Amino acid sequence: MPQVERDGIAERSCLERTRNESRRQQVLQGATHCFCRHGFHNASMAEIAKSAGMSVGHIYHYFQSKEAIIIAIVESQQEEVLALLDQVEGSAAPLADALVDEAARGVDSCMDLASTALMLEVLAEAARNPKVAEVVQASDAVVRARMREMLAKAMGGADPAAVPDMEDRVESLFTLFQGIPVRAIRNPSLDRERMVRIVRDMIRWILHERT
């Protein structure tokens, strides 16, 4: 096969993958809107298709079921968190300072009601559906491992396994952030600045030896 023809096939294949990924993201955005508005079980594939701007048949070309869509949402959220952690680690500031500085953006994200609604829908489905639970738990394990690595670096580059109470530190941090969305719903008057201050203090506490 001539090189020009091989190059043409490779280019078309790349364009097709890009187009498919764009379509998948279109479906995920439409599904996210429907899940937040109607809940997972009340959002029909027809509604998701309408929100995504495509036919139901077209959606089934990319996802076999609503379950597959929610699993893809979990995987997408994991990629976003890992990308954010990479960004923080790449900051010009010392890593410990960068983690503290990121608290405000983290609080803002946690207090976003649309994001909270989606998180609660995912967790509710994970509580009922073992397959979704498996994906959620595997994703959590990946993010926890990345956070252990970052905390160890922020504490002087130690081996994560050698840091005292590392698992307690990681769980404290995730419990804090993942609890904010629930508090924001239960207490609409939750003070954003106070939460930023609490989160910053907690990060500083986590990064230092405790008695």
Please report the domains of the chain, with CATH numbers, ordered by start residue: 1-63 (1.10.10.60), 66-211 (1.10.357.10)
CA separation, residue 105 to residues 72, 79, 98, 109, 207 (Å): 24, 17, 12, 6, 19
Reduced 3-state DSSP string for the chain: CCHHHHHHHHHHHHHHHHHHHHHHHHHHHHHHHHHHHHCCCCCCHHHHHHHHCCCHHHHHHHCCCHHHHHHHHHHHHHHHHHHHHHHHHCCCCCHHHHHHHCHHHHHHHHCCHHHHHHHHHHHHHHHHCHHHHHHHHHHHHHHHHHHHHHHHHHCCCCCHHHCCCHHHHHHHHHHHHHHHHHHHHHCCCCCHHHHHHHHHHHHHHHCCCCC
Sorting pLDDT into bands at 50, 70 and 90, what band is 7? very low
| Contacts with 174 (C-beta within 8 Å, 6 or more apart), sequence order | 144, 147
Query: Rounded mean pLDDT of 110-119?
Result: 92
- Is residue 156 over pLDDT 70? yes
Sorting pLDDT into bands at 50, 70 and 90, what band is 95? confident
Query: Rounded mean pLDDT of 17-21?
Result: 76
Sorting pLDDT into bands at 50, 70 and 90, what band is 196? very high
Tens of pLDDT, residues 43-67: 999 999 999 999 999 899 899 999 9
Query: Rounded mean pLDDT of 149-154?
Result: 88
Query: Rounded mean pLDDT of 24-53?
Result: 92
Number of residues that make up the chain: 211
Predicted TM-score (pTM) of this structure: 0.83
Sorting pLDDT into bands at 50, 70 and 90, what band is 157? confident
